[in-house]
Amino acid sequence: MITASEIFSIINDDSFFENVFNKDMDWDAELDARDAVEFDRAWNASYEKVNEMDSSENKIIKDIREFAFKQTFRITQNSELAGYTSDDLGLISKVYENKINIEFIQQLWDSYLQGNFPK
């Protein structure tokens, strides 16, 4: 299982955010798709499970969240999308940092690694 530091190294690659967001997409529609009951329920359940175990955020996770927000906003000029991305990568990092196995979070991370915004 990777660490938050390793995640930060991966997303720090110039192509990471470009691969996910430098596309001609209707980002508002992509965000709306995440409001589907199944995705929303899985995301929130994962968030609750992780925060029950550890409600704090260490410096590396805060740095990941800030970097993700800024890079997403730089490419898309969409602050809502940047916020979702920041939340996703913060949650992903926290899960890996605490060595928690949540299949939904693995799928979320895999989606980003494949250059897709999860929905």
CA distance 82 to 75: 9
Contact criterion met (CB below 8 Å) for 11 and 65 = no
pLDDT by position in tens, the chain (length 119): 899 999 999 999 989 999 999 999 999 999 999 989 999 999 999 999 999 988 788 999 999 999 999 999 999 999 999 999 999 999 999 999 999 999 999 999 999 999 999 99
CA distance 72 to 79: 8
pLDDT value for 69: 98
Would you state the structure tokens that stand for residue 103, as one six-digit string?
């299949």
Contact criterion met (CB below 8 Å) for 34 and 84 = yes
Q: Within a 10 A sphere around the Cβ of 8, how many other Cβ atoms? A: 17
Q: Within a 10 A sphere around the Cβ of 66, how many other Cβ atoms? A: 12
